[in-house]
Chains A and B, each alone.
Chain A
Amino acid sequence: MTRNSETPTDDDERMDFEDAIVSDSETDADERIETDGGVGTPFEVVSEYEETRRDRYRKLYDAYIYAPISIIWRDWRARIGFTIVALYLFMGTVGTLFIEPTGVTEGPALAAPFETMEYPLGTDNQGRDLLSQTVHSTSTILKMVLSGAVFTVGIGTIIGSIAGYKGGMTDTVLSSITDVFINIPGFPLVMVLGLMFDDQILGNPFAIGILLSVASWGGLARAIRSQMLTLREESFVEASQAMGIGTPTIVFKEIVPHLMPFVVINLTNAGRKVIFEAVALYYLGILPFKNLNWGSILNQAYGANAHARPDAIHWFLVPMFSIVFISVGLTLLGQSLDRVFNPRVRARHEKTTADVETEGDGETQTQDAMGV
């Protein structure tokens, strides 16, 4: 539920980034010509070393990739979540090379799973191998998730950050648009749109991902906007403005990185939502499809009354398991990311592992007092 999800900010990380940004601006200051020629005040002291592009990337790598990964790897949820998502990525990319696409009457109808090595997950009523169907639909679904999540998060971040930063008329207009999208129920809207554009989205998973994100960026945009309202008052923003840096640069290079943790968490939620909605739409038989995927397998199974036949239950269970398993992976990953980025949760958990820092002190005492 992105609509009212909490908005964790990370004060510690922000400090790091402020340092990084300050050193950046100092490099810029090099080029300024002093009118009186003097360097007497501390305001005019410039950085002593030049920050190369490589240093910058290295810093970004440390802050965004190395540090989070090393932190979350200590958490069991993260390990499981990562493994599951990686497994699906492997299945959707390498797996499709090894497992042949299946066709009608390839095997016996409704072969039971785990009986022959030839059809490990059994077959459907037309003799199509369910393992092959699952593997091949994984890549379709992953493409939808990719485009859908990138679009939801991209549009949500862009609209939300511009609205929050600019304020005034821009904010009013963008916020009104956002509110309309928040108020429209997503699923029926996507259903209607899917019907209207069925020619354009046939056999194009990326287009379906984008279609599904039409309705879901609103909540994120609103959350980002409210974060932006506090961030734009920060001193480093004022400094950038004073230096005459352009608005787009300030918003997307200086402020948005502070929102990254929040954005990353939302990426996993958006991905899960795309899977749920896409599968539901295929299950209902609304979206057209060329190749079978988890949703259309469910649709055909329901259509063939597999729910009333005891010998056909695997036909439902195989796609269901695929959906639930990847979604567990994404949920665990999202939760562990929340743990990395949420200072309060982190502070509470540090006391169980390491020495208590001053910040977490008060909370630890409360906990002790609560007898937890």
Chain B
Amino acid sequence: MVTIDWRIRRLGQAAFTVWAVITLSFALVRLMPGNMMGAMVTRLARQGINPARARELVELRMTIDPDAPLLPAYVSYVSNTLQGDLGQSVYYSRPVVDIIAEAVPWTLFVLSWAVFISFFIGISIGALMAYWEGGKLDVGLTSYAVLMGSIPFYVLAILLLIFLAYRLSWFPTGGRQPIATDPGFNLVYISGIVRHAALPVISMLVASGVASLGMRGNSIRVLGEDYLRVARLRGLSDITISTQYVARNAVLPMYTTLLISIGEMFGGSIVLEQVFQYRGVGWYMLSATHQRDYPLMMGGFMVITVAMVISLLLADLTYGYVDPRARRSQ
């Protein structure tokens, strides 16, 4: 039985992780070798700002006072962060929260399509492979799955960029929206957005390879169950058995994988958005890393972490509803 107690504990764990990440980012900024604060002050000073003013600016942007004793500095950093004040980007001279809030929908747009399409394909292929296990189709599709699982998504992304965008010009070569069209609910703009998102989404199809192997394994396990023999004896048709019995029971464990992979793709979006110059959260985090724009970099890191924590939390908390068997065993 899922007890209230268990859910509260799981929530507490998620909160603990978020706290741990905030603390980690504080420690990195404040204590790490090379002292990022010092580096930022020197950089601003080199641009002709006097050192006292530079220090003030850095303090303001990082929401960390470099001279304050450790504990008060930590407390104010945590409370600022929890209130949504992630400091100000050094490079863009805008609040980090604004930049990220503007970028998140784009990343989510690409990722949600990528996750759902790759899982739909993965699950269908996995079920087919399991049903004809050992046959020619299984061997063929397994090769597909192994190959897809062995290609890093960024390799596929670059190949798609080269062939479909540069060679064939079927898709735009970068960016996230068409230039010279009015943003809004008009056909040109929306189809432009879809075309810009198409290649990043297709690159994530490599995830379908991994998903299909998982689905194949699950289905094979289900195929060995006694209730299938009973179903067979009852004279149910192949189609009923494969959809109602096998697929349904095998797809349930994939639910967790689905939500976990959303979290993981958030991390992977850094590479993907770099390849396609798609300005989402990952793109900004990478650009911040290259610019040594620490407030923006840490902000991106925290947003990605929180996204992952939330998706894992959702997976754990809702799994009992999706699969009643899990509720009994918990």
A74 to B154 Cα, complex, angstroms? 34
- B322 interface hit (Cβ, 8 Å): no
> Nearest Cβ in chain B — how far from A29, in angstroms?
39
A182 to B10 Cα, complex, angstroms? 13
Interface SS of A by simple majority: helix
A6 near B146: Cβ-Cβ < 8 Å: no
Task: Check A324/B155 contact, CB under 8 A, given A185-B308, A187-B268, A195-B289.
Answer: yes
A324 near B308: Cβ-Cβ < 8 Å: no
A370 near B260: Cβ-Cβ < 8 Å: no
B21 near A352: Cβ-Cβ < 8 Å: no
B257 near A188: Cβ-Cβ < 8 Å: no
Residue B270 contacts which of A1, A188, A369 (CB distance < 8 angstroms)? A188
Binds A, one of B43-51, B53-61, B103-111, B224-232: B224-232
A153 to B16 Cα, complex, angstroms? 25
A60 to B149 Cα, complex, angstroms? 33
Task: Check A323/B152 contact, CB under 8 A, given A1-B214, A285-B290, A372-B133.
Answer: yes
Task: Give chain A interface residues in 245-301, CB to chain B under 8 Å.
Answer: 272, 276, 279-280, 283-286, 298
Binds B, one of A10-18, A102-110, A156-164, A326-334: A326-334
Task: Check A352/B134 contact, CB under 8 A, given A298-B158, A344-B224, A365-B229.
Answer: yes
Task: Give chain B interface residues in 173-205, CB to chain A under 8 Å.
Answer: 173
A204 to B149 Cα, complex, angstroms? 28
A352 to B134 Cα, complex, angstroms? 9
A328 near B28: Cβ-Cβ < 8 Å: no
Residue of A nearest to B285 (CB): A188
A179 contact set on B, CB distance < 8 A: 13, 16-17
A369 to B231 Cα, complex, angstroms? 10
Binds B, one of A35-43, A62-70, A308-316: A308-316
A186 contact set on B, CB distance < 8 A: 264, 267
How many B residues touch the partner, as a band? 35 or more
> Nearest Cβ in chain B — how far from A148, in angstroms?
15
> Nearest Cβ in chain A — how far from B57, in angstroms?
22
- B32 interface hit (Cβ, 8 Å): yes
B32 near A188: Cβ-Cβ < 8 Å: no
A363 contact set on B, CB distance < 8 A: 224
Residue of A nearest to B241 (CB): A370
A189 near B301: Cβ-Cβ < 8 Å: yes
A6 contact set on B, CB distance < 8 A: 217
B271 near A196: Cβ-Cβ < 8 Å: no
A197 contact set on B, CB distance < 8 A: 33
- A82 interface hit (Cβ, 8 Å): no
Residue A320 contacts which of B13, B155, B173 (CB distance < 8 angstroms)? B155
B149 near A331: Cβ-Cβ < 8 Å: yes
Binds A, one of B62-70, B72-80, B87-95, B161-169: B161-169
- B101 interface hit (Cβ, 8 Å): no
Residue A180 contacts which of B17, B146, B261 (CB distance < 8 angstroms)? B17
- A52 interface hit (Cβ, 8 Å): no
B267 near A185: Cβ-Cβ < 8 Å: yes
B155 near A1: Cβ-Cβ < 8 Å: no
How many A residues touch the partner, as a band? 35 or more
Residue of A nearest to B281 (CB): A188
- A307 interface hit (Cβ, 8 Å): yes
Residue B286 contacts which of A185, A272, A284, A365 (CB distance < 8 angstroms)? A284
A276 to B264 Cα, complex, angstroms? 14
B162 near A192: Cβ-Cβ < 8 Å: no
B260 near A1: Cβ-Cβ < 8 Å: yes
5 CB < 8 A contacts A-B: A196-B34, A284-B274, A348-B133, A372-B131, A372-B134
Query: Which A-B residue pairs are the 9 nearest by beta carbons?
Result: A185-B267, A187-B267, A327-B150, A183-B17, A328-B150, A369-B232, A276-B152, A185-B308, A363-B224
Which residues of B are in contact with A by a Cβ distance under 8 Å? 13-14, 16-17, 20-21, 25, 28, 32-34, 131-134, 146-147, 149-152, 154-155, 158-159, 161-162, 166-167, 173, 210, 213-214, 217, 220-221, 223-226, 228-229, 232-233, 238, 241, 253, 256-257, 260-261, 263-264, 266-268, 270-271, 274-275, 285-286, 289-290, 297-298, 300-301, 304-305, 307-309, 312
Which residues of A are in contact with B by a Cβ distance under 8 Å? 1, 3-4, 6, 176, 179-180, 182-189, 191-192, 195-197, 199, 272, 276, 279-280, 283-286, 298, 302, 307-308, 310, 313, 316, 320, 323-324, 327-328, 330-332, 335, 344-345, 348, 352, 362-363, 365-367, 369-372
